Amino acid sequence: MSLYSDSKHPVREAIATAHQQTLASFASPGQWFSAAERAAIIHEARGARIQAGVQEALANSSIDQPANTTSLPDSVKNLARQVAVDTKDLTADFYEDSLDAGLTDCEYVETVGVVARSLSVDIFCRGIGVDTRALPPLSAGAPSRIRPTTAVHEKAWADTVPGGSAGGEDAIYIYGTDQPEAAPFIYRSLSLVPDEAKGLIALGAAQYLEIENFMDLDFSYDPEITRAEVEVVAGRVSAINQCFY
């Protein structure tokens, strides 16, 4: 059964599949957090958005169990809530303060990735008028704690994996190719935690476009909306959210 079989609006199967895979990824150990901790990060972000009035209260009060019984450090909670409701105030100083509070750069990136990707699904649910989707049953196991050896300091606060030959096998794993143009900075931003970057790219490919179609200005998944119209909507939403990319 499709993830959005209860929607009154048609949903492309590619989106439903990408969202199903995204939710499944949160129920498994990450690279720096366990599955229970990843679920707790989502619980924290959802709670912040509900409190801010930008997301409806969960229809099922047990939807986040056992996420709301898993303890997280205050530094992780603060970051999750900040990303969930107020990204315009994410600054280099905030990043440094988070590290000073005990987060590693990898934990910072994984937290940002989990919140950003989960919000993509939650906001989509709100947009088509269905309840927030629950996570699958959580898997046991420890995080892998593998840091990519090719990560270097580029133009972001945290280290990133370059595209092309400089990124080596890490680049191929994350971006799907060793071509430098496949690794724009918006995708490199999460590459210190490769699986988060791969997850972001998968969502981008399903919801927006695949990187190989980026310069095809006639490309659109929906014949009823042109690429130019897609970009106008994206630019306007970004401006409203004060996201100056």
Q: What is the pLDDT of residue 64?
A: 61
Q: How confident is the model at residue 87 (pLDDT cuts 50, 70, 90)?
A: confident
Q: What is the pLDDT of residue 57?
A: 81
The answer to whether the beta carbons of residues 159 and 151 sit under 8 Å apart is yes
Provide the percentage of residues in the chain whose pLDDT is more than 90: 72
Tell whether the model's pLDDT for residue 69 goes beyond 70. no
Tell whether the model's pLDDT for residue 70 goes beyond 80. no
Can you give the chain as a three-state secondary structure string? CCCCCCCCCCCCHHHHHHHHHHHHHHCCCCCCCCHHHHHHHHHHHHHHHHHHCCCCCCCCCCCCCCHHHCCCCHHHHHHHHHHHHCHHHCCHHHHHHHHHCCCCHHHHHHHHHHHHHHHHHHHHHHHHCCCCCCCCCCCCCCCCCCCCCCCECCCCCCCECCCHHHHHHHHHHHHCCCCHHHCCHHHHCCCCCHHHHHHHHHHHHHHCCCHHHCCCCCCCCCCCCCHHHHHHHHHHHHHHCCCCC
Tell whether the model's pLDDT for residue 137 goes beyond 90. yes
Residue-wise pLDDT tens digits, 223-243: 889 999 999 998 998 888 787
Q: What is the pLDDT of residue 62?
A: 52
Tell whether the model's pLDDT for residue 60 goes beyond 80. no
Tell whether the model's pLDDT for residue 61 goes beyond 70. no
Where is average pLDDT lowest: 4-13, 61-70, 81-90, 143-152?
61-70
The answer to whether the beta carbons of residues 121 and 15 sit under 8 Å apart is no
Where is average pLDDT lowest: 85-89, 114-118, 130-134?
85-89
Q: What is the pLDDT of residue 222?
A: 86
More confident residue, 168 or 88: 168
Mean pLDDT of 118-139: 94
